[in-house]
Amino acid sequence: MGEARAQPGSPPQAVSISTDLAALLQERRLTVVTAQPVTTWPSDVRPSAFRLELDDGSVLKARQFPSVRRAHTVERILQMTLSGFPQPIARHGCALLLPWIEGDVLASLDSIPPDVIHRCGANLGALHRQDVSGWPDVVVRQADEVLARMRSDTTILVEAGELEKDAAAGAHALANEHGPGTASAGIIHNDFCSENIVLDASGTPVCVDNATLTFGPHDYDLARSWYRWPMSPGESEAFLHGYETHRSGASFEHHFVFWAICMLTATAANRLRMGIGDHAKSLDALRSILAAFERGEPVRPWKARQTEGGSQH
């Protein structure tokens, strides 16, 4: 994308932005020189994100959400001044303006220092400890709803020919056996992993992709991190020790099989539904859990994930 000089308060014409983002830039009297898309997802699947270079040499991040409700939810959560998350600058409708965090993506590093992984775990634990009981219009999924969703997702996957009927039956049986009944719930990230965290110039880990912030069971969120962030035993120990400075991980470990099965089927069904590929990877992870049980092997967080190899989504 070539550079373009814009009039004050207007974006360059080389990229497609929403009317809300254009209005936000106008309100802030920002002159954008270049706007570079930074999301690798189709815009109809995940909100579009841009790196904005301004005429004064500064850089900001802009994100376009599919609805005002989603934009407001993410903005409000980020406004809680959470450690390891950026503070929003301004919002107009579906568009949100954020600071641009320069640094190294954790997933690109040859090794991640244990203290950084510990801080990441602590940041997620702190997020899960936030109280939203007084927030109006907050709908939080409970464990029984997650289980019902899992049954629906497996039906979709079986009918599409992506999951064997006996595997679906095995998943149902294990989920029923290992369900928590009730579960801690509130704010969840839904994609907290090394691919979305940047180590800034001060050595602080900052989660820079937060479009998935929502409400749900905390242990489901931990299962997402387990799946999205493969760790060595030492790394997972540091992460969980950091997490437990704010919230116990005992319930996640005790009911891990339930959360892993529900998360993996949801991930596969979502990707299949959206046509974005790689749904087979989460189903392979599901089959690995089922096979481990058939062999009588224990299935625990991160330990079962080590054999899968590579980052999966």
Tens-digit pLDDT profile for residues 81-92:
789 999 999 999
Give me the residue label for tokens 């929502």: 214
Q: What is the pLDDT of residue 18?
A: 84
Q: Which residue has the higher pLDDT, 14 or 162?
A: 162
d(CA 232, CA 73): 34
- CATH 3.30.200.20 assigned to domain 19-100? The reply is yes
Residue % of the chain over a pLDDT of 70 = 89
Q: What is the pLDDT of residue 128?
A: 97
Residues 136-147 have a mean pLDDT of 86
Local structure of residue 66 (DSSP, 8 states): S
Does the pLDDT value for residue 12 go beyond 70?
A: no
Q: What is the pLDDT of residue 272?
A: 92
Q: What is the pLDDT of residue 46?
A: 52
Write the pLDDT tens digit of every residue in 175-204. Answer: 999 999 889 999 999 999 999 999 999 999
Does the pLDDT value for residue 309 go beyond 50?
A: no
CATH number of the domain located at residue range(s) 105-307 in this protein: 3.90.1200.10
Contact 184, 217 (CB under 8 A): yes
Model confidence band, residue 246 (pLDDT cutoffs 50, 70, 90) = very high
3-class DSSP assignment, residue 170: helix
Beta-carbon contacts of residue 270 (< 8 Å; ≥ 6 apart): none
Residue 137: CB atoms within 10 A of its CB come to 7
Domain 19-100 identical in fold to domain 105-307? no
Residue % of the chain over a pLDDT of 90 = 76
Average model confidence (pLDDT) across the chain: 88
Residue spans of the domains in the chain: they are 19-100, 105-307
Q: Which residue has the higher pLDDT, 99 or 5?
A: 99
Q: What angle do CA 225, 301, 170 make, to 5 degrees?
A: 100
Q: What is the pLDDT of residue 3?
A: 30
Q: What is the pLDDT of residue 61?
A: 97
Does the pLDDT value for residue 7 go beyond 90?
A: no
The CA-to-CA distance between both ends of the chain, in Å, stands at 28
Does the pLDDT value for residue 225 go beyond 70?
A: yes
Q: What is the pLDDT of residue 275?
A: 83
Does the pLDDT value for residue 133 go beyond 90?
A: no
3-class DSSP assignment, residue 242: helix
Residues 163-178 have a mean pLDDT of 96
Does the pLDDT value for residue 11 go beyond 80?
A: no
